[in-house]
Amino acid sequence: MLEPESIIIAIWSPGEATRSPSRNGCSQCKKRRIKCDEIRPACSNCVKHSITCDFQTSTSQAQSPLHPPKLSSHGSDSKSPGSTRSRARSRPIVSNNLVLGDLQMGDLELLHQFATETCYTTSNKKDSHDLWRVTVCKEGLNHEFLMRGILAIAALHLGHLRPDQAHEYQNIAANHQDKALSVFRVNVPNVTESNCHAFFALSSLIVVYGFASPRKPGTAVFTDESQESEDWLPLIRGVNSVLQQAWPVVENGPLRGLLQPGSFNTTDTRLPRSADMQLRSLAELCKSVSASGGGDDEAAEAYVEAVKALRKCYAKIFTRSSVECEVATAFTWPVEVPNKFIEMLRARAPHALIILAHYCVVLHHLNDYWWMSGWAAHLIENIYNELQDPWRDWLLWPSETISRNEKCLVWRPLSPDLVPTQTPGSMSNGMGSVSNGPSSVSGG
């Protein structure tokens, strides 16, 4: 049986890139003094930060056969993932009533959007971009439910880039997503060798859709027992279920490049002192649930395990190398927490909500992705509304960290405010190093 933390890493973490250094990067990367991967029509760094890349201009002028013009009547400033929302001009939404023979032009526009822009925004791992751009789209030609999932994400991305048309694109996205999910939900218990690759890809896109969907004011942390789009924690955990069924086939199939050997376990627990102290206090709070007498021992144990997993997640993000995927690391915590913890979240238990608020510090590290933008602040606000005094005092540290737009888990090797690595079992509160068990993921 695969460990859940290894599975979630596999979804978002392709292997290390082998592109050699070059001095021909875009001016944005040179200005920021970071390595440019020179991917066209826009480099990955410009895609991630939603800024205009030099390459899009040169690409549109050259009209290379590898980057043909769009079929729809678009201007040049939306051709690359680097296009910003403020600079995107309004354009007529291509309707499926516009046809060339039996071609549905609206759907073709969305597929073009995914293959030329959206595919570059799924993670910071550029090795995965071509797999999403080519291999996943090709798989979608054989499975309508996957193709509709692809089109749904592309529609939400266009709505993000063209805010004055967001409502129309959101409706288009919802229509495609509903049809994709109707097939997904019925057939996911019976994943086969022929469809497991498509289910694997769609399960990952469902998570992105859940975050990219419009957020309603006052939306609760969970809606109900059915895994709706806003129930993002069960969605992430659901990916684990799909891969458990299909792993032997997926790891040898066309999407094997999205998988990476390794384990989330780490012995490096270094953290900024402020984060370390906060997690220690949080652990003591959770232990007090059973110590107070008459408490729920199972819930108390679930809280302690959730905080342990959160410390491991903090440390992994803080010490991760440049070749490790930040999305994979951030999304591991939801699959590590016990089922009892999810149950307590649904019950709006204060301890569970407070732990989730501290996980928002992790989500804030993904705030530069268009589909994650604002999510950490959104969750903190809703958690605050769910809690009453004096529980709200526990939200002070994560709230201030996010409101200052501070990414407190960014590695600063010379910082004096650093708690050194602990030896296993050396911390009396049970929050020490996590044992580095054997990896359950092989190959890739």
Q: How confident is the model over 294-304, as pLDDT tens digits?
A: 567 889 999 99
Write out the H or E segment, with its range, that includes residue 327. Answer: helix 326-330
Backbone angles phi, psi at 131, to 5 degrees: -65, -40
Give the pLDDT score at 411: 54
Residue type, 143: H
pLDDT tens string 105-160: 899 999 999 999 999 998 887 888 899 999 999 999 999 999 999 999 999 999 99
Q: Does pLDDT of 13 surpass 50?
A: no
Chain position carrying tokens 């890809």: 201
Give the pLDDT score at 257: 74
Chain position carrying tokens 């190959």: 443
Listed ranges 13-27, 377-391, 416-430; the one with the highest mean pLDDT: 377-391
Tokens of 412: 């600063």
* Torsion 223-228-233-238 (CA) sign: positive
| Higher per-residue confidence, 40 vs 347 | 347
Residue type, 390: P
pLDDT tens string 315-344: 888 887 766 778 888 888 988 899 899 889
The dihedral formed by the CA atoms of 101, 105, 107 and 112, expressed in degrees to the nearest 10: 120
Count CB-CB contacts under 10 A for residue 78. 22
**DSSP assigned state of 95:** P
Q: How far apart are CA 154 and CA 246, in angstroms?
A: 26
* pLDDT category of residue 273 using cuts at 50, 70 and 90: confident
Residue type, 216: K
Q: Does pLDDT of 346 surpass 70?
A: yes
Q: Does pLDDT of 399 surpass 70?
A: yes
What region, left, alpha or beta, does residue 309 occupy, with left being phi > 0 and alpha being psi -120 to 50 degrees?
alpha
Give the pLDDT score at 109: 94
pLDDT tens string 26-52: 888 888 778 887 777 778 777 777 677
Average pLDDT, the chain: 74
Three-state helix/strand/coil letters over 224-271: CCCCCCCCHHHHHHHHHHHHHHHHHHHCCCCCHHHCCCCCCCCCCCCE
Give the pLDDT score at 351: 94
Distances (CA, A) of 33 to 27, 29, 43, 57, 295: 9, 6, 14, 21, 54
Burial of 7 (0-12, 13-18, 19+ CB in 10 A): buried
Q: How far apart are CA 173 and CA 166, in angstroms?
A: 10
Give the pLDDT score at 66: 32
Tokens of 287: 């232990």
* pLDDT category of residue 73 using cuts at 50, 70 and 90: very low
What does the chain come to in residues? 444
How much is the CA Rg of the chain, to the nearest whole Å? Answer: 22
Lowest mean pLDDT of 235-244, 279-288, 357-366, 428-437, name the range: 428-437
What region, left, alpha or beta, does residue 415 occupy, with left being phi > 0 and alpha being psi -120 to 50 degrees?
beta
